[in-house]
Amino acid sequence: MKYFSILLLAISLYSCKEEKKEIKEEPKAISEISDSKTQSDSVNQKATQFTEVKNDIQEDDGQDEIMLEKDILFNGKLKRIFELKDFEKVFGKADSTKLMSETQPCTYIFEDTGDGKNDKYLYKNESCFENTEQKVGVNEFWFLNGNYILYKGIKIDGSSTIDDIRKIFPNSVKNISELDSPGRGKVQLIRLREDKENISDGHINIYFKNNRVQSIHWWFPC
């Protein structure tokens, strides 16, 4: 009888030990499920972020990109509109000048400023600037004799290729066109928008010659 009682006690203790073991192992299983779910959520979150970035890039798919004046520095120093006193400091003395009244352009940068009688063009290394009183604006800028622009800190000069520009304006380069231009010969051309809302009637032309950037021109219809 004594032996039977000891046997029952041993069986009871063994059962309790097994139950405790099962209880201990249960949280481990829950932890594993939790870790697995966290990893899965993390992967899904990364995939969502990637998709959102990708969709944002493709949002204006097919449209020419935007180039804002405020993001451009000519020769790394001047905005598109600057003071006359800074012209010679940065570009040197003008090669030639011409009164606008002699050409009577249908539109120009400072047409709403003053009477325009003494407004003139300033020419330097093929580039064309417009001048009214003490203000100067860039009409067309040629990448000659070391001329360059900084666009959002990226340097664009006469050695920049179409592939270089493609990295900045992929849609516009995708829509590139060719033309025979007086004084230029056969060139390639991309167009950039001046604002996101397409309020401006004009656009910005960037010309390429022999696969290299040649000039940038602000174009407006008459």
Q: Which pLDDT score, from 0 to 100, does residue 61 have?
A: 64
pLDDT of residue 7 exceeding 90:
no
Instruction: List the domain boundaries for the chain.
Output: 69-219
Higher per-residue pLDDT: 65 or 25: 65
Q: Which pLDDT score, from 0 to 100, does residue 137 have?
A: 98
| pLDDT tens per residue across span 26-70 | 444 434 434 444 444 444 443 333 233 232 344 456 899 999 999
Residues in the chain, how many?
Answer: 222
Instruction: Tell me the pairing of strands 148-151 and 72-74.
Output: antiparallel
Task: Give this prediction's pTM.
Answer: 0.72
User: Chain-wide mean pLDDT for the chain?
Assistant: 81
CA 165 to chain centre: 10
Q: What is the mean pLDDT of residues 184-192?
A: 96
Q: What is the mean pLDDT of residues 139-151?
A: 98
Q: Which pLDDT score, from 0 to 100, does residue 42 have?
A: 43
Q: What is the mean pLDDT of residues 201-216?
A: 97
Q: Which pLDDT score, from 0 to 100, does residue 84 have?
A: 98
- Provide the terminal-to-terminal Cα distance of the chain, rounded to the nearest Å: 118
| pLDDT tens per residue across span 74-112 | 999 999 999 999 999 999 999 999 999 998 888 899 988
Taking CA atoms, 63 is separated from 53, 70, 103, 135, 145, in Å, by 18, 21, 34, 33, 33
- In angstroms, the CA 175 to CA 193 distance is 13
> Residue 216 burial by CB count (10 A; 0-12/13-18/19+): exposed, middle or buried?
buried
Hunting for tokens 């939790």 — which residue is that? Answer: 34
Higher per-residue pLDDT: 174 or 183: 174
| pLDDT tens per residue across span 146-178 | 999 999 999 999 999 999 999 999 999 999 999
